[in-house]
Structure 1
């Protein structure tokens, strides 16, 4: 339960930071951050593994770089499922997914050191 809560908190904070860093990403209500954290976690658990499996050949050919595109697609799907969140373009999703992974890893590291 702690791990799930930690992931949701990390996602919540990460999306808040993305909202600050990117002008093409915005949330219309504060509750959108919580909704986005939940939806993004669910999309990561369900749709992302399917996309990774289907794109395995092209991921191998590109030496793993296509996984960046998969991450951007997952982020775009999550934003499309939350009506109170907006992302400008696929390019924004691509760069935001890279920044999101760094922020998420940093926050999860802090949470795991302080609360375990």
Structure 2
């Protein structure tokens, strides 16, 4: 249970940092960020592996860079589900996925 909570807290913190880096990313309250972090964790747990499996040939051809596009789609799905957070476009979501991927990598190294 603590691993799950840690991953959600990291997601929330990285989403908050993303709102500071990109002022056009809006959220209504901290509760919305917590909900978005939880939804992003659940989407990454259930939907992302299926999308990565389907996109495996493209991912192999791009030497893994297509994973950032898949991560961007997961963020956009989260944006669609959670009404309290707004990511304006694909490009911003792509840069946020870089931040989240880097933050999760650092989080794994600190364990």
1:20-54 CA distance string (max 9 Å, x none): 11122111122111101110000000110111011
TM-score (norm 2): 0.92
TM superposition shift of 1:80: 1.0
Residue 96 in structure 1 maps to residue 96 in structure 2: yes
1:91-110 CA distance string (max 9 Å, x none): 11111100111123334544
Q: Which residue of 1 aligns with 2:48?
A: 48
User: Unaligned 5+ residue runs, structure 1?
Assistant: none
Kindly report structure 1 stretches of 4+ aligned residues shifted beyond 6 Å.
none
CA contact (8 A) 1:7 1:108 kept: no
* Residues 63/106 of structure 1: CA separation in 2 closer, same or farther (3 Å cut): closer
User: 1: distance between equivalents of 2:104 and 2:27?
Assistant: 18
User: 2: distance between equivalents of 1:33 and 1:55?
Assistant: 29
Q: Which residue of 2 aligns with 1:72?
A: 72
TM-score (norm 1): 0.88
User: Unaligned 5+ residue runs, structure 2?
Assistant: none
User: 1: distance between equivalents of 2:108 and 2:52?
Assistant: 23
Larger Rg: 1
Residue 37 in structure 1 maps to residue 40 in structure 2: no
